[in-house]
Structure 1
């Protein structure tokens, strides 16, 4: 019999964290599951760690491939998965033991196409709230939709969710971006779902790496990384404008207060030449926003968008605080 749930776990050089990840997955109170580990060309001992786990727990399978990136690794895992429901977990993160029971149980009760739950950040000091999710997961909502609960515009990550596999396949959902790959796919899933469940329970612990290579979200100040983020902003905007224009105001408000300002904030670290692609993509996004939505932004955000669009980058830089990395460096001197 196929398992009730398949969990796709791409791994690439996460040897320090993989044991904790697999411990959390094999320890789930929902036991009817398979764990599809996709070794995306790891050059550390992650593959060996995963193979040792297969000898302890037959629910774990390994698929190996040359390094082709997270999007391709996830797609490979989906093709290998057999479960009625589908979930994703990154190899450096942790899932609370009752998370999948709650998520799958909700879908079993409601018949919704997908379900999301709350997230916490994790490091050696413990767990802490993830900023921006307060409204999104403030209470349980059964058989809702992003058009009714527009705070779900901020629910753009794949790993705090479970999907009905038949829905995933029917909508032909796949990952394609080389980085920040979740958002366009997840927003499309939210829009195309007939109904979505929202749980206030914490279902995922997103690690802040304190050793080894930092994760992509911990390298936000790097120009190439920022450019990848801006491509995500634009691609996700394309999805929303094509499929759900009524969500444009909520998305614009979020981007203009957060990701677009991160691009401006990077001017404290890099010159305009280094940030050429970043700023070009950010300006192209702002240029496409209807003027009435820019006018409706809070005064500070509105002013920043006008300065960015007009090319007055020095004044824009003066209006934003430096990135946290700059502040921390100054405080440590």
Structure 2
């Protein structure tokens, strides 16, 4: 019934915990696809050892191609009616598959999304502040709006969800290679093509917070990936008028997030020409327009600094404005 795809690269410290949590699932009709993405540590050996103890496990050994490439390799061989993604340094609740599948069948939806813990190295766990607090069934347009206008991490990532596999095959959805935050390129498309989506607040996934995580690092690759995501959103918006206004909100938020990161990091200032090019070729004179209510105070101040040409000269003006406005509230 369910194919679980685990992309793996140099995480031998966490891998057994991840696989064990999948093997302990109370729902047992599983296909477990371990994709060893050219690991240089003992991950490949660990995968092969697990394959010998449980015949539900398939192992793919491949040349390193990145997280997206590994996930795509898993999707290509998956036989299940449904798909799940579990990152190899994370782990899941014993009943995650059962609970998600129950909701999938009860509400006759195409995607089920749950809440999760941030799992820290010091043993502390923090519950994600999910924007939707109770069991909720949304249609595709409602979900796209929630994703772009009421941002929360649980709606943004691919790994805390169960999907009908046909969403990927029917609409030729694959993860883009070579980018950070690759989930941002496809998750909104999955929402759009799904007929209905169920969101629950059960905390079923444990998201490991690693100090050396690529996603958590501020880098030029991070910014350039976000710029490519902006372009991807814009292309999709041109082809789908029914969600164009929500996509535009997402594009503007990503753009202002890039600007904010560059403000804080002098080493990234050389990327300002890339950002200016985005503004010149994509945005109209008014970035916010009628959708101003969907933007944070921080992003509003960032935009003001852009229009007054202070954005790359005065790093702390943004925070001064925010402090003044907060004091007046």
The answer, yes or no, to whether TM exceeds 0.5 is yes
Number of aligned residue pairs: give it: 308
Superposed CA deviations along residues 99-124 of structure 1, whole A, max 9, x for unmatched, are 11111111112221111111221123
Q: Structure 1 145/285 Cα, relative in aligned 2: closer, same or farther at 3 Å?
A: farther
Asked whether 1:255 is paired with 2:254, we answer: yes
Q: Secondary structure at the match of 1:147?
A: helix
RMSD, matched Cα: 2.7
CA distance in 2, matches of 1:234, 1:284: 13
8 Å contact 2:143–2:197 — kept in the other structure?
no
TM-superposition CA deviations, 1:158-186 (whole Å, max 9, x none): 11111111232112111114122111211
Which residue in the other structure is 1:161 paired with? 161
User: After superposition, where does 1:275-286 map in structure 2 within 5 Å?
Assistant: 275-276=271-272, 279-280=275-276, 283=279
The separation in 2 between residues aligned to 1:123 and 1:253, in whole angstroms, is 31
Residue 71 (structure 2) aligned to one of 54, 71, 74 = 74
User: Structure 1 stretches (4+) deviating beyond 6 angstroms?
Assistant: none
User: Residue 28 in 1 paired to residue 25 in 2?
Assistant: yes
Mark the CA change 1:69 to 1:115 in structure 2 (over 3 Å): closer, same or farther: same
Question: Which residue of structure 2 aligns with residue 194 of structure 1?
Answer: 195
- Match of 1:308? 306
2:215 counterpart residue number: 217
Any conservation in 2 of the 1:227–1:281 contact (CA below 8 Å)? no
> In the alignment, is residue 265 of structure 1 matched against residue 284 of structure 2?
no
Q: Partner of 1:203 in structure 2?
A: 204
Change (3 A) 1:176 1:305: same
Tell me the equivalent position of 2:176.
Answer: 176
1:24, distance to aligned residue in structure 2 (A)? 1.0
Q: 1:129 and 2:124 equivalent?
A: no
Per the TM alignment, residue 315 of structure 1 is displaced from its structure 2 partner at its CA by 4.6
State the distance in 1 between where 2:268 and 2:235 align.
28
Distance (Å, rounded) in 2 between the aligned partners of 1:98 and 1:260: 41
1:253–1:217 Cα change, 3 Å: same
TM-score by length of 2: 0.83
TM-score by length of 1: 0.82
Deviates more, 1:192-201 or 1:246-255: 246-255
- Does residue 142 in structure 1 map to residue 137 in structure 2? yes
8 Å CA contact retained: 1:226, 1:278: no
Partners of 1:189 and 1:166 in 2: CA distance: 10
Q: Deviations over 1:280-305 (max 9, x none)?
A: 46646873574414755455522312
The correspondence for 2:229, drawn from 213, 217, 232, is: 232
Note if contact 1:11-1:42 (Cα within 8 Å) is conserved in structure 2. yes
The structure-2 alpha-carbon separation of the partners of 1:149 and 1:201, relative to structure 1 and needing over 3 Å to count, comes to farther
Among candidates 11, 15, 18, match of residue 12 of structure 2: 15
**1:195 CA displacement:** 0.8
Tell me, which stretches of 5 or more residues in structure 2 are unaligned?
320-329
- Equivalent of 1:84, from 57, 81, 90? 81
Residue by residue over 1:8-40, the C-alpha shift from the partner in whole angstroms, topping out at 9 and shown as x without a partner, is: 111111111111111111111111101101111
Contact 1:117/1:199 (8 A) holds in 2: yes
State the Cα deviation string for residues 49-77 of structure 1 (Å, max 9, x = none): 11111122221110111111111111110
Distance 2:308 2:108 in 1: 49
